[in-house]
Amino acid sequence: MAMKRKGYWAGLGLLVSAGVAWACGPFFPERMLLERSKSLLQAPRSRLSLEVASMKVKTPPVKANWAPGEQEFPQARQTVEVDVAELAEALRGKAEGEAIVKRYRAVRGVLWSLTVQPANGGGGALVPALAPPDGIPGEFADYLRGAIARARGDSAGAKKEWEGLLARPAAERGYRSTWAAYMLGVHSRDVNRAEAARWFQKTRELAAQGFRDGLGLGAASLGAEGALALADRDFPRASRLYLEASALGDPFGSASITVVVRALMEATPEAQKQALRDPVVREVLGAYLTSTDVTELGPSSRESRIHALLLDETRDERDMAGADRLAWFSYQRGDLKATEAWLQRAPESSPVRAWIRSKMLARGGKYRDAAAELTRAVEAFPLLASTPLQDEESPRLIAPRRLRAELAVLKLGRGQFLEAHELLLRAGYWRDAAFVAERVLSLEELRAHVDERWPPAPRASAGKPAEPAAVEPMSDGERLRYLLGRRLARADRWTEARPYFPPALLPDLDAYLVAREKSKAPGAQERAEALWAMARLERHKGMELLGMELGPDWRVDDGQFDEDEAVGKPSKREPAALRSGEEQRREKQSAPAFARRFHYRHVGARRALEASKLLADRDPRIQEMLCSAFDWLKARDPQGARPYAQEAKRRGVPCP
């Protein structure tokens, strides 16, 4: 029976960026709305580790204890520490227990040094001098004598000691039975693989029966036995054993599966045909292929050959294990005929099948049907709170998020703007969600949504000192509220904007509100000073108070990068089903007053001009206002800056 997929992962795994090639410089997260057709049609690679983790595997009742990989010689260190700790436990409360443990640790320390830095063929004259200290339980003495014999190169002596340990009554070997069985498997694997496999199986049996397994040897025995099965070219058994080990957290689980698949691809066609009759081997092969870089695969590659073989061997099958992944792989390669063949063989309940079908439908312009298939896939991948947004390989996004972002593209094209925004936001595509919030949703739609979905966070109670205010980091809700606040400010609805701003910015906002109120005073001089105060805040605090989250200001990057230059603007050459006329109309309505980089500088400059008009010619403050406006713009927009210098000259106070 094929292995079933775990809940929300379903093996779709981590997905690579959807074909957007970033320019040199900082990393910019993936965008779905830059090239919508491309985002929908591409099926990025998976990641083998998550494909493997997605397979629901029944594991034996053992516990793992994988050695930490950051240390040098981790297994050897772990063995010494666990061995000494368990001896101390066995001797607890006995006379001279601590002294015995100290002597035991000394012997173990010498053995450890010989393990990691053997000399003279395995320890030389040092090994014969070692012996278990007096006073330790018999099973510890038996095991240690076997370890000393092995270090000395006396395999027969080691085997005799460990077999003797296992011959003791069960009550006398509670601590070291699993150790002895595992080492007998290690001892036998180069001599008799069948015998070694039996000992590794015995290790798991003993651990399941309750014998101490502080090293997690029951779990480790799975990989050890898997290597034996692979040496015998028993691909189904090797696959199952490695998958079980991986399900128990084996850090080398994915690497082991890679070894199995590569060995399978090097096997004879007859051996491949026999192995590929097994459903688990098919799933493992599909998982491997979907995580392969298809750009490097020619028609004669081993991946292509085994794919073609399996395609031919399964032509009459239905509900085939792994067929959904093989459809994914075929689609990645642009082999649409093979994709369709695998889709027909894949289980209809497979969310991956629905996902790939949505892409096939989108290729034919059947976006409504594609949305229905994609909705099915999304429903099979619930977005849990624990679903990580990104891993260390930043362009890759977790499948439940990627699928929602693709569905958002389709909903946006159908005018379901608010649903698209929510999908993008929950999927972690902040830039795309911000684009919809900033440019597509009406201001009232956005405000109603924010008020309902993202109410303000509770503030500190009165009487308690407030924590130092900070703008970053913010939650999605806080970022969205702040985006709305700036959008209201750009619409000159400053008082309404105030509740949506972060506390750290309220002093600047309040200063602006005071100046704004004074700008309505009857006296020209007072109005001019107020307008000039507003202009300076618009220039120097404009990013914080007025800045667009995306272009042209890029508040999302603190204004440090122009992603329109590095990445590109959303494509306007999209089918009407993906970018409607209504969306384009809304985008025009929501455009900033000045469609230039750091648009708020132009807002401030225009305000300075307004202030200067309230003053008499040759008033020195005119020079300060207009020449400052000229300086604010001249570096990026010399042509836009020139009129301010010309106006200062006309008013009799030319710029220096």
Q: What is the pLDDT of residue 392?
A: 33
- Contact predicate 534/516, CB 8 Å: yes
User: Six-digit token pair at 457?
Assistant: 């966070």
User: Does residue 613 surpass a pLDDT of 80?
Assistant: yes
The answer to the question of residue 137 being in a domain is: yes
Rounded Cα–Cα distance for residues 279 and 276 (Å) = 7
Structure pTM?
0.81
Q: Residue 459's pLDDT band (boundaries 50, 70, 90)? A: low
Residue 46, in any domain of the structure: no
At 397, which helix (H) or strand (E)? strand 397-398
pLDDT digits (tens, 9 = 90+) for 310-325: 999 999 999 999 999 9
The answer to whether residue 391 sits within a structural domain is no
In-domain check, residue 368: no
pLDDT tens digits for range 8-56: 233 333 333 333 333 344 567 788 999 999 999 988 888 888 888 888 8
Q: Domain of residue 96: give its range.
A: 61-215
Residue 435 lies in a domain: no
Supply the pLDDT for residue 18: 34
Which of the residue ranges 192-196, 380-384, 458-462 has the most confident prediction, judged by mean pLDDT? 192-196
Q: Which two tokens stand for residue 332?
A: 């990645």
Q: Which pLDDT belongs to residue 51?
A: 87
Helix 253-266 to helix 302-313 angle, to the nearest 10 degrees? 80
- pLDDT score for 16: 31
Position 174 scores a pLDDT of: 97
> What pLDDT does residue 209 have?
97
Q: Which amino acid is at 27?
A: F
Amino acid at the residue 349: S
Question: Dmax of the chain from CA atoms?
Answer: 109
Q: Is the pLDDT of residue 79 over 80?
A: yes
130 lies in some domain: yes
Per-residue pLDDT band at 95 (split at 50, 70, 90):
confident
Helix (H) or strand (E) holding 14: strand 14-15
Task: Please indicate, yes or no, if residue 158 is contained in any of the structural domains.
Answer: yes
Q: Per-residue pLDDT tens for 400-435? A: 888 999 999 999 999 999 999 999 998 889 999 999
Cα gap 255→271, rounded to integer Å: 22
Per-residue pLDDT at 10: 35
The residue type of 126 is L
| Residue written as token pair 């040094």 | 113
In a domain, 183, yes or no: yes
Share the mean pLDDT of the chain.
88
Distance, in Å, from the CA atom of 158 to the CA atom of 144, rounded to the nearest integer, reads: 9
Task: Count how many domains the chain has.
Answer: 1
